[in-house]
Amino acid sequence: MAISTLISRLAFLALTASVGASAMAAPSVKDGMFGSPAPVTSAQRTIALNKNYANVAQGETVRFVTPQGESFVWNFDTWTTNTFKLSAIAPGNVNVGDVRVYVEPNPLYRGSN
């Protein structure tokens, strides 16, 4: 096998491996770890961000409104309950400050006893 062919194949394998490794990286919050953005019309309720926390339930779709009038809607379609900073899911142009979100279990997702 010619040296140039060998080098080409090694370069291809290295590129393939690096692409595969990046695809296997841990998902980011925006990749659905805590749900996903949703249309304004799907919001079940609105939370005014005038406190440093917000309580939501799994499966709930909420519209968040800042004191400046900026807003976004998020669907908390997630299998886990967590607490995290709202800024992790807010669009970059919406300043939500230092608000934490507390995701409560949805009774519909629990098994029967």
Write the secondary structure of 29-50 as one string of H (helix), E (strand) and C (coil). HHHCCCCEECCHHHCCEEEECC
- In the numeric block, which tokens belong to residue 22? 């990046």
Domain extents for the chain?
29-109
Q: What is the pTM of this model?
A: 0.69
> pLDDT truncated to tens, each residue of the chain (113 aa)?
566 555 556 555 554 444 444 344 444 555 568 899 999 999 999 999 999 999 999 999 999 999 999 999 999 988 777 899 999 999 999 999 999 999 998 877 666 55
Architecture of domain 29-109: Sandwich (2.60)
CA–CA separation, 71 vs 86, rounded Å? 12
Cα four-point dihedral sign 103, 51, 87, 65 = positive
> Which three-class secondary structure state does DSSP give residue 11?
helix
What is the CA angle 37-39-45, rounded to 5? 90
